[in-house]
Amino acid sequence: MWSKIFYFAMVPMVYAAFAVLIGGLLFKLAVVFFSKKFPGSLATYPKRLPRPIGVAAEAFAVPAAWKKDKVFWIFIIAYHVAFVLLFIGHLELIREFRALQIIPHDVFLGAGSVGIVLIITVLYFLFRRFRSPWREISVPEDFLILILLFLTMFIGSHLHLSARLYAGGGAFDIPVEAYREYLSSLVAFKPVVPSGIADSPHYVLVALHIFLANLVLMLIPFSKVVHMAFAFLSLNLRRK
Amino acid sequence: MDKEKTIELKKILKTRLNRPMRYYIDTCTRCGLCYDTCHAFNGIPKKEYSPVGRAEVVRKLYKKYTRPGGFLFPYWSDATKLSDTVMDQVYEAAWSCTGCRRCVVNCPFGIDTGQMMGVAKQLLIANGTAPEELVMLADAAVEKGKSIDQFKDGYRNVIRDLEKEVQKKLNLPAPDGLIPMEKKDANILYVGLAGAHSIVNPAIIFNAAKENWTLSFFEAVNFGFFAGDPEKAQFIAQRIIKEATALNVKEVVIVECGTAFRILRALMGKLPFKVSSIVEVIHRYLYEGRIRVKEGAVSDAVTYHDPCQLGRNGGVYDEPREVIRKIVTDYREMSPTREQNWCCGGGGGLVALDNEEFRIKTGKPKKEQIVATGAKIVVTACENCVSQLKTIQSGYGLNVEVKYLTELVCENLVV
């Protein structure tokens, strides 16, 4: 029974999550591009940098946060940088990318620090919402997403740290090769859950981690997390 | 709220769901960075007067009626149904927003709460709860546009009286033709307001610069835009566009009215003529040597209030400052300034409503800015701003004089 549930979370649900993510984002973007354009200009002034550079600067450096709340800015930047590293780390769990190994490093990147940074920043974002005035402007969805992210990252980080602690054959070590076998089989549409994962005492946590990550992926197009795509578009409007 | 009204309001929500609105609905993370960037919130610290608080009122309606998540799981996104209570919230949100867009420059995603309040205002019109004063003024402007020929003779008589004031100021022998009307192929079509000052002072400047200009039959102010009625706003703006096109003018110059300037310059798409503010034209004349002012003639401390639609939303920052600096010896900049300058609290049609107490309270950040400069004269280039600054001046008992930029220039013009 449990093995069927774990298998569901680790195989069919992963495909479903990616289908919802990609389909949802494409649908959202298609709806946007087929919707009525604004006939005039929504620009604000001064426009200090050329449009593409200005949009990129505002999206990646978030000067609006820097001017207003430097602590918040540090957490925003730390979270987003860690998220990029997390993404790279997961790519390397599929297979080795030579381009990513220009600076040689262990897989997963960051020796555990990436997960810790993500957990701390997500907790900051979450607890910030319990204080006024953020409490008044928050809606349940804001808490739900942060709790989901926290749980996903906490379990993922735990799996990584225990693998590092028990590296070389300890009870809780799930080697990189096992993840690569699993993830590359998913990519090749010949899914298997290898014994390196299925026989590990941490199998339940791997399945839970993937289950939660699936939920996050499916939520992206239909929640405020879509700002990862729309931020560039709305910032572009301000410079048109 | 009855079913038919709900259907009508839902239709408005859907028709206004254009590309920017889609971004604004989905992108906001409720990070709260905009929370205290609104002058209204600074004056009256209520969530409802914060940009995010206002935007959420409209966003929650959109979530309910256009997002499957909001329809299926309204609790999660706080999606709300249309109701009389919600429409009261919509009113409070829309009619506390001046559309100054200070929140836009402070939002990490550039979300335009002003645009969202445009939808809110249209909902209120359909609901029959929009401010009557503005709806009536918009209707009057539309009526004038439809039957302009009936108004022309009366308007010409008024203008003849104003020509005498221009003649007096410029020491000219005769007043005839000092305010030309319906002049074809003129370089400039000037669009003023109903007040004599908005025609006399620019007329003095145009004549001093020996400009080939003509006066519009229409007022620049767009009450359709203020009221939130896109059809009337379009009609009112098109009256001027048609007049300018028929007269084949090269440039349309807008009176000291920030919104009128922004509508024609930024919101009407590509036009067959240039659109400028009178402020830019004065600056041009000064630097081309077509007019001269008494340099350093004013020794009192002077500060300049950037009208939001001219500065932050129009990019006209340097021209008024350079003009003022030519005339005054003690110019003092407000802090914060330029794109971060506080709105006076009178824009977006608010100054036309019976809400003086609210405007005095929400004018608090502007009052503090003025006091901090120690200036004796506050110059600005917008009709709404002048009215609101005068309300702030009397409301807080400030010992300052509020002046139009054209007024300052005319008082110190070398004739």
Integer angstrom CA distances of residue A29 from A235, A237, B22: 15, 15, 10
- Give the side-chain half-sphere CA count within 13 A for A204: 3
pLDDT attached to residue B148: 86
This model of the complex carries an ipTM of 0.93
Which chain B residues touch A61 with a CB distance below 8 Å? none
Q: What is the pLDDT of residue A165?
A: 83
| Beta carbons of A46 and B78 less than 8 Å apart | no
CA distance B182 to B407: 25
Interchain pair B17, A35: CB under 8 A: yes
For A62, the closest of B17, B47, B108 (CB atoms) is: B108
pLDDT in tens, B122-147: 999 999 999 999 999 999 999 988 88
**Under an 8 A CB cutoff, do B313 and A31 touch?**
no
Contacts of A44 in chain B (CB under 8 A): 101, 104-105, 110, 312-313, 339
Contacts of A104 (CB under 8 A, 6+ apart): none
* Span of A107-111, A125-129, B218-222, B299-303 with lowest mean pLDDT: A107-111
Asked if residue B50 has pLDDT above 80, the reply is yes
**At B415, is the pLDDT very low, low, confident or very high (cuts 50, 70, 90)?**
confident
Average pLDDT estimate for B18-27: 96
Of B31, B78, B266, the CB nearest to A40: B266
Residue B109 predicted with pLDDT over 90: yes
- The Cα B38–Cα B361 span in angstroms is 13
Please report the DSSP string for chain A in residue order.
-HHHHHHHHHTHHHHHHHHHHHHHHHHHHHHHHHSPPPSS----S---S-HHHHHHHHHHH-HHHHHH-HHHHHHHHHHHHHHHHHHHHHHHTTS--GGGGSS--PSSGGGGHHHHHHHHHHHHHHHHTTSTTHHHH--HHHHHHHHHHHHHHHHHHHHHHHHHHTTTT-TT---HHHHHHHHHHHHTT-----HHHHTSTTHHHHHHHHHHHHHHHHHGGGSGGGHHHHHHHHHHHTT-
Q: With an 8 Å Cβ cutoff, are A42 and B20 in contact? A: yes
Kindly determine whether residue A64 and residue B75, on different chains, have CB atoms separated by under 8 Å.
Answer: no
pLDDT at residue A169 greater than cutoff 80: no
Tokens 């200005």 found at: A54
Q: Which pLDDT band, with edges at 50, 70 and 90, does B73 fall under?
A: very high
A87 C-beta neighbours (distance < 10 Å), count: 11
Which candidate in A25, A74, A230 is best for mutational testing of the B interface (most B CBs within 10 A)? A230
Q: Is pLDDT above 90 for A170?
A: no
- What is the distance in angstroms between the Cα of A115 and the nearest Cα belonging to chain B? 22
Residues forming beta bridges with residue B293, ordered by sequence position: B413
CATH numbers and ranges of domains, chain B: 3-130 (1.10.1060), 135-287 (3.40.50), 293-411 (3.40.50)
What pLDDT is stored for residue B168 in this prediction?
95
Is B32 within 8 Å of A142 when comparing Cβ atoms? no
Neighbours of A170 (CB within 10 A): 11
Which residues 6+ apart lie within 8 Å of A181 measured at CB?
A192, A194, A196
How far is B327 from B332, CA to CA, in rounded Å?
Answer: 13
Residue in the structure block whose two tokens are 């703006």: B237
What sign for the dihedral angle of Cα A149, A155, A160, A164? positive
Distances in whole angstroms, Cα of residue B258 to Cα of each of A130, B129, B176, B241, B306: 40, 26, 31, 17, 10
Is B47–A28 a contact, with Cβ atoms under 8 angstroms apart?
A: no
Please provide the average confidence, as pLDDT, over all residues in chain A.
93
Best residue of B19, B52, B62 to probe chain A, by most A CBs closer than 10 Å: B19
Nearest to A133 among B26, B35, B112 (CB): B35
What is the Cβ-side half-sphere exposure of residue B75, based on CA atoms within 13 angstroms? 2
CA–CA distance, B356 with A102 (Å, rounded to integer)? 66
Q: What is the pLDDT of residues B334-351, one digit of tens each?
A: 999 999 999 999 999 999
| pTM for the predicted model, two decimal places | 0.94
Task: Please compute the mean of the pLDDT values over residues A81-101 and round it to a whole number.
Answer: 92
Q: Contact, B114 vs B52, CB < 8 A?
A: no
* Strand order across the beta sheet in which B328-332 lies: B328-332, B298-305, B377-380, B401-404
Tokens of A55: 């949009």
Pair B343, B39: CB distance under 8 Å: yes
**Which residue type occupies A206?**
V
Q: Is the distance from CB of A200 to CB of A174 less than 8 angstroms?
A: yes
The tokens describing B394, both together, are 């009397």
Q: From CA B60, how far away is CA B123, in angstroms rounded?
A: 14
In 3D, which of A115, A71, A52 has the Cα closest to residue B31? A71
Cβ within 8 Å of residue A126, ≥6 positions away? A143, A146, A147, A150
Of B24, B32, B109, the CB nearest to A137: B32
